[in-house]
Structure 1
Amino acid sequence: MYERILVPLDGSKLAETVLTNVEDIMVKMAPETESEVTLLEVVSGLTYNALTRDRRAQVPLEEHELEEVKAEAMAYLNQTAAPLKAKGIKVTTMVAVGDVAEEIVKAAHEVKANIIAMSTHGFSGIKRWALGSIADRVVKISDIPTMVIRAKGG
């Protein structure tokens, strides 16, 4: 079964919609199975160039700026984990820096996840083509099963 589930989040309520499904799975398994959920947020080590105000002109964050961003992400994950922990679900949190899809797959291997559970905004057509899909990329590059839930309101 799914003893270890990796749940990538991006800080949005839409991304968090997958947590209801994960909670259902974990509550049903909890008495019989030693199970764990890992909440992950991947942050970029880049920001736009403030001088040009061009978002395509990416520049690396200073080390102290990156540490602030990582600390904010960890605080968010810990806050998000609290309701799951209150229901007796074992939850760990982690923050990674880099390409989102690649870091999700890397983290899944690190925590030995049996499944990656994530939501998608459910875009289609030109909007999907223009914005791309992290969920699509994860499904394509991962050798770990991935459960993709369409976010309500997406």
Structure 2
Amino acid sequence: MSTQPTSMLIAYDGSRRARHALVRAAELLRPDTVELITAWEPVTRQTARALGRTGMPQTTVEIDPEGEGTDAAQAHALSILEDGVELAHELGLKSRAHLVETSGTTSQAIVDAAKELKVDVIVVGTRGLSGVRSWFNSSTAEQILQNAGLPVFIVPPTGSDGPESEDYSSETPLSAF
């Protein structure tokens, strides 16, 4: 009986941290199956949430009731997910891609997907914030750890990916992991 996980879900947002987490998980866990997930939030919901924080009326957000047209956030998330699939392939991993629209938090979308896909472990990168900075930044990795009910493999940033070298301008507009 093998003690190694045979399937894992990797939360992939295209950041250096997510790429690093995928590489380290492939090296250390050697999974049979990789479920790549990119969670995204529709632009209209992002806008409504942002307006809610400013106190402006949320009725100014136009929603496409017909579902026509392409959501820019969804198209961007799809390109990020395709990048993750390509990286998994380069690492010799069999992978399946899942684009998940969030209706709440990114962490809950990841936990829900892991349960639905019945994976053995969730893999997620982290920004590695500590001290006062961590008080003001919610950690998706921590939320996943607290709510997953299954093993979570958290990959800390490397020296060049640590919080001191954070390049927020290169982050994706998706909810950060």
TM-score (normalizing by structure 2):
0.71
What SS is found at the alignment partner of 1:78? helix
Of the three residues 131, 147, 152, the one matched with 1:146 is: 152
Higher strand proportion, which one? Answer: 1
Equivalent pairs counted in the alignment come to 145
Of the three residues 120, 128, 147, the one matched with 1:122 is: 128
For residues 8 and 60 of structure 1, what CA distance do their matches in structure 2 show? 30
The structure 1 segments of at least 4 consecutive aligned residues displaced by more than 6 Å after TM superposition are none
Shift, 1:55, TM fit: 7.2
Kept in 1: contact 2:77–2:99 (CA 8 A) = yes
For residues 127 and 19 of structure 2, what CA distance do their matches in structure 1 show? 11
Kept in 2: contact 1:118–1:135 (CA 8 A) = yes
Shift, 1:11, TM fit: 2.5
What SS is found at the alignment partner of 1:56? helix
Shift, 1:64, TM fit: 4.8
Identical-residue share of aligned pairs (%): 22
Distance 1:67 1:48, change over 3 A: closer
| Aligned twin of 2:6 | 3
Kept in 2: contact 1:2–1:115 (CA 8 A) = yes
Kept in 2: contact 1:47–1:60 (CA 8 A) = no
For residues 15 and 63 of structure 2, what CA distance do their matches in structure 1 show? 22
TM-score (normalizing by structure 1):
0.80
Shift, 1:116, TM fit: 0.4
Structure 2: runs of 5 or more not aligned: 163-177
Of the three residues 19, 24, 32, the one matched with 1:21 is: 24
| Aligned twin of 2:77 | 73
For residues 125 and 71 of structure 1, what CA distance do their matches in structure 2 show? 36
Distance 1:60 1:136, change over 3 A: farther
